[in-house]
Structure formats: C-alpha cells, structure tokens
C-alpha cells in the first residue's frame, strides 16, 4: 500500500503568509526551495536558536502562535541580504515587519520603543533627545577643536543649514552625545573629496527606530520630516550614512 503524501500546512492557515501574499503577490512564501542561502548570509542566524529558513518554514506551516511568541524577529536587522541571495526573491524582511507589527506596541522591545518615542519629541528627531541648540554647539565645538589640533584640516567645514548644498548629510543620533569624535572621519572624507554638503539643524538623524519597532505612523512622520528639511535647504541628494 502506498504511503499517503505529507501535506504541509494542513487546514491551519498562516495569517502572516497570507498578509505577505496580499502585499507582495510575487513574494509567495510557498516558493521557498529550503536551499538555505538566506541563512548563510544572515547576521541573525543562530540567535534564539533560529535562522531565516527555519522561520520561513514555521510560517508556511501556519505556526503563527509560535512565531508571535518568538523574539527572533527582533534580532533581524532588515538588511535584506536574504532577499538578494534568494533564488525565488522571497521577501523575508517584509514578513518580519508584519510579525513585529502584529505584536501589541507595549509588548515590543522597550529599548527600541523608547528610542522611537524620544525621536518624536524633538525637532532633530534624535533618539537621544538632542535639541537643535545642543547639536549645533557640539558640531561647532568639535570642528573648532580639529581645525586647531590638525592644521592640515584647518579649512575643513561642518556646515549646518547651508542652502543649496549637493548633499544633505544625516548623523547617528548617538554620536553627537556620546562619541562626538566619531563624526570627524566622515567630515574629513567629504573635505578631501571636495563634496558640497550640509547638516540640517532639524531632522538630521540617520536612524529610524520607529521603522524597527514597526510603528508605521511615526516612521512616516520621521521620513517626511527628513525629506522636507532636505527640500527646504534645496539639497539635491539625501545622504544616509546608516
């Protein structure tokens, strides 16, 4: 007697798989070949005893409860390496984003949630709560220090709110507060390259914690504010260093 074929998924449907199909019809998770290329380059592989291939199979099998209880989606960096190497172009980061969004906001990681909330309280959008005045002071102070201590960079500039610059440069919000010297290497590169650039006194932060917490409303507000500041200054290119 022939053995009955094993049917994956059974009667249990995956909410997350259906959601991804709805958003990205071409990104059908059922096309997964289980080749493992997604896991081979994933920086989150091995964390929480999980990897992208295993996680994808859990979705395909309708294991939504286990997926919601897992902390692995919060280990994902959203770098999209998995999409680049996948022969079927399955969009795992889109899946991860929807899984994060499905968790109640108060149950999402506190550190990322607090950083998103802090960013929304300042015009700078800094997750460190840095004010416009504090950012300007730090940039000018650090610039003056290096102009004096390194004569070969006496003409180096770190402009803020310069109209018509080619590049609108952003900055990780941590560095002006805790590691201000870390801003300087990029200034030197831009100086030696003769690049025409500027910071904005507002919306200068490069990271977007609201994206990572899957807070779509505040993610959009941050992105629109950054775009508006770039347009206000008349910059041609938004240069994201993050």
Which CATH number belongs to the domain containing residue 55 in this structure? 1.10.1060.10
Give the pLDDT score at 45: 95
Q: What is the pTM of this model?
A: 0.80
Whether 5 maps to a domain, the answer reads no
Same domain, 224 and 129: yes
What are the pLDDT digits (tens) for 187-205?
Answer: 999 999 999 999 999 999 9
> What's the mean pLDDT when you consider all of the chain?
89
Q: CA 15, CA 156: separation in Å to the nearest integer? A: 54
Whether 223 maps to a domain, the answer reads yes
pLDDT at 2 over 70: no
Domain count, the chain: 2
Scan for tokens 């102070």, then name that residue.
141
Whether 164 maps to a domain, the answer reads yes
Distance of CA 152 to the CA centre of its chain: 35
Whether 67 maps to a domain, the answer reads yes
Give the pLDDT score at 11: 47
Q: End-to-end CA distance of the chain: give it in Å, rounded.
A: 60
User: Do residues 222 and 108 touch, judged by C-beta distance below 8 A?
Assistant: no
Tell me which of 46, 78, 103 is where a domain ends. 103
Residues 6+ apart with CB under 8 A from 30: 17, 60
Same domain, 99 and 117: no
User: Do residues 202 and 132 touch, judged by C-beta distance below 8 A?
Assistant: yes
Residues 6+ apart with CB under 8 A from 70: 48, 50, 55
- What average pLDDT does this structure show over 100-124? 94
Scan for tokens 């003769």, then name that residue.
194
Strands 197-198 and 167-169: parallel
Q: CA 241, CA 177: separation in Å to the nearest integer? A: 17
Domain that holds residue 193: 111-239
Grade residue 31 by pLDDT with cuts at 50, 70 and 90: confident
Q: CA 199, CA 168: separation in Å to the nearest integer? A: 6
User: Do residues 151 and 185 touch, judged by C-beta distance below 8 A?
Assistant: no
């Amino acid at each position: 007697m022939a053995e009955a074929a094993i049917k994956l998924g059974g009667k249990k449907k995956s909410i997350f798989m259906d959601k991804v199909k709805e958003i990205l019809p071409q990104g059908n998770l059922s096309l997964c070949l289980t080749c493992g290329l997604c896991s081979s380059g994933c920086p989150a592989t091995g964390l929480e005893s999980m990897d992208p291939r295993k996680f994808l199979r859990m979705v395909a099998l309708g294991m939504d409860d286990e997926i919601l209880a897992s902390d692995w989606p919060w280990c994902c960096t959203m770098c999209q390496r998995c999409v680049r190497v996948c022969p079927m172009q399955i969009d795992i980061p889109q899946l991860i984003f929807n899984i994060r969004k499905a968790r109640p906001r108060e149950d999402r990681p506190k550190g990322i949630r607090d950083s998103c909330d802090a960013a929304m309280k300042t015009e700078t959008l800094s997750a460190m709560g840095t004010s416009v005045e504090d950012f300007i002071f730090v940039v000018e102070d650090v610039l003056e220090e290096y102009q004096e201590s390194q004569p070969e960079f006496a003409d180096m500039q770190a402009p803020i709110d310069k109209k018509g610059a080619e590049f609108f440069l952003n900055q990780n919000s941590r560095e002006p507060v805790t590691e201000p010297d870390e801003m300087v290497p990029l200034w030197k590169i831009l100086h030696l390259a003769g690049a025409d650039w500027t910071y904005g006194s507002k919306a200068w932060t490069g990271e977007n914690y609201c994206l990572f917490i899957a807070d779509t409303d505040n993610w959009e507000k941050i992105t629109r504010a950054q775009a508006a500041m770039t347009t206000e200054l008349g910059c041609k290119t938004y240069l994201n260093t993050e």
